[in-house]
Amino acid sequence: MTMPKKSLQPTMDLVRAGVNRHLAGFLAEAIAKTPHAPGFTPLFDDLAEFVLRPGKRIRPLIYLAAARFFQPDNVWLAPSRLACAGSLELLHAFILIHDDIIDRSELRRGEPSLHKLLERRTSTFSDRQRIGSNLALVMGDVLFAMGQRCLLESGEPKAAQQLSRLLGYIIETGVGEASDIVFGTRDVGKIDLDDIELMYLQKTTRYTIEAPLVLAAILGDATEEQLKELAVIAEPAGLAFQIQNDLEEFRKFEVSDEAISSDLLEGKKTCLMRTAFEMLNETDQGILQLCLNGIQPSEATASKVRELVIKSGATLRLQNRVETLCSRSLQNVCESSFDASIREGLEGIITMLCQITKPVSHEVAV
């Protein structure tokens, strides 16, 4: 069974709807089965609302699309497949909850982050911020367990093998998160761009792109060598996806916004910041370092960082890198040992991802 590239786009809404229905049903059942006092029900309500917010559902989409050509059995939206796809989204939400706490992000998908939602439920306490964060950490851990159960109880014959692989990616994500935290303590000029890109791969892109492909390939009895080929195919596209995300975050940032970019607040050492530093003159490099290393970042420092990034021309350089990475990923598909139908399917998925990372205008006024 072949997977024409043009067939991916019309299925996106169908896949999202199917995954969302499964997630809603699974969460309702899982929460009902979890012993808890009635007073704790609002915590679970907030958790379910957080997970079910509208999103791209990139990981389930990649998994279900890939499963169509690795295991062409015409059951790609069967309950067992949707359960596997849903587990990827549950584990993604678990990572987002912890990431928001680490970054002190107040918003997620346009709504309050989970720790902020739970903070509101403890508004009568003087240390409600700490309590809200602590509750979100625990609920995130609950979601981590639910995500594993969703996969293990999916009914897929290779669920245990898939989960073992997936947990490896989650471990690597934790290592990447730790690297991100450590890099935040260092001067931007003392971190290599290669180290930042490795952190991106570990923290985000491997569990986002490679993991769904590998889990789907396991359904079709892919060999270890073939799984390694998928990693080679996924890596450039994954980096392009994350770099474009940085560019989009920067494009949307305005100093008049109520919430200053969390990356700027935390002094995050992103590819965009490292590239801008490299392209600035020595005086501007010093100013950028001072802004990123400030103890109490403000609108003024964030505005200065924005000005320096625009001045550097780093956004254009990175947009060109995004396009180069997408082309490399497609080339890796062509050079792989997979048969023609699987190569066509992989090309369709990479093309879809490249469309998501298509160039956008970054011509914003200083």
Write the pLDDT tens digit of every residue in 92-148.
Answer: 999 999 999 998 889 999 899 999 999 988 877 778 899 999 999 999 999 999 999
- Is a pLDDT exceeding 50 seen at residue 364? no
Number of domains in the chain: 2
Asked which of 74-88, 99-113, 179-193, 292-306 is least confident by mean pLDDT, the reply is 292-306
Say if residue 19 is in the same domain as residue 82: yes
Beta-strand runs (E) in the chain: 107-108, 111-112
For residue 366, being part of any structural domain is answered with no
pLDDT-derived band at 358, boundaries 50, 70, 90: low
Residue 249 vs residues 114, 128, 157, 215: alpha-carbon distances, Å: 20, 29, 40, 30
Say if residue 314 is in the same domain as residue 302: yes
Q: CB within 8 A of 71, min separation 6: which ones?
A: 216, 219, 220
Say if residue 214 is in the same domain as residue 116: no
pLDDT-derived band at 256, boundaries 50, 70, 90: very low
Say if residue 57 is in the same domain as residue 131: yes
Q: Which pLDDT value is given to residue 265?
A: 55
Taking residue 123's Cβ as centre, other Cβ atoms within 10 Å add up to 9
Say if residue 276 is in the same domain as residue 200: yes
Find the domain containing 73 and state its range: 1-156
- Is a pLDDT exceeding 50 seen at residue 149? yes
Say if residue 146 is in the same domain as residue 195: no
For residue 152, being part of any structural domain is answered with yes
Say if residue 142 is in the same domain as residue 177: no
Q: Is 56 exposed, middle or buried (0-12, 13-18, 19+ CB in 10 A)?
A: exposed
Instruction: Output the average pLDDT for the chain.
Output: 88
CA angle 90, 93, 95 (to 5 degrees): 115
Q: CB within 8 A of 331, min separation 6: which ones?
A: none
Last residue of a domain, one of 156, 181, 215: 156
Say if residue 92 is in the same domain as residue 169: no
Say if residue 111 is in the same domain as residue 165: no
Cα distance between residue 271 and residue 188, in whole Å: 10
Residue 103, both tokens: 């970054």
Q: CB within 8 A of 1, min separation 6: which ones?
A: 68, 69, 72, 74, 341
Give the CATH number, domain containing residue 106. 1.10.600.10
Q: Which pLDDT value is given to residue 179?
A: 95
Asked which of 87-96, 257-266, 281-290 is least confident by mean pLDDT, the reply is 257-266
Position 135: which residue type? L
Residue 61 vs residues 83, 87, 209, 349: alpha-carbon distances, Å: 12, 12, 10, 9
Say if residue 47 is in the same domain as residue 176: no
- Is a pLDDT exceeding 90 seen at residue 293? no
- Beta-bridged to residue 33, according to DSSP, are none
Say if residue 150 is in the same domain as residue 165: no
Say if residue 209 is in the same domain as residue 253: yes
Taking the whole predicted model, whether its pTM rises above 0.85 is answered as: yes
Last residue of a domain, one of 104, 122, 156: 156
Q: Describe the chain by its helix, strand, coil percentages, rounded to 5.
A: 75, 0, 25
Asked if 250 and 243 count as a contact pair (C-beta separation under 8 A), the reply is no
pLDDT-derived band at 365, boundaries 50, 70, 90: very low
For residue 232, being part of any structural domain is answered with yes
C-alpha 113 chain-centroid distance: 15
Last residue of a domain, one of 103, 126, 156: 156
Q: Which pLDDT value is given to residue 291?
A: 86
Cα distance between residue 357 and residue 6, in whole Å: 17
Residue 174 vs residues 72, 80, 144, 166, 210: alpha-carbon distances, Å: 34, 28, 13, 13, 16
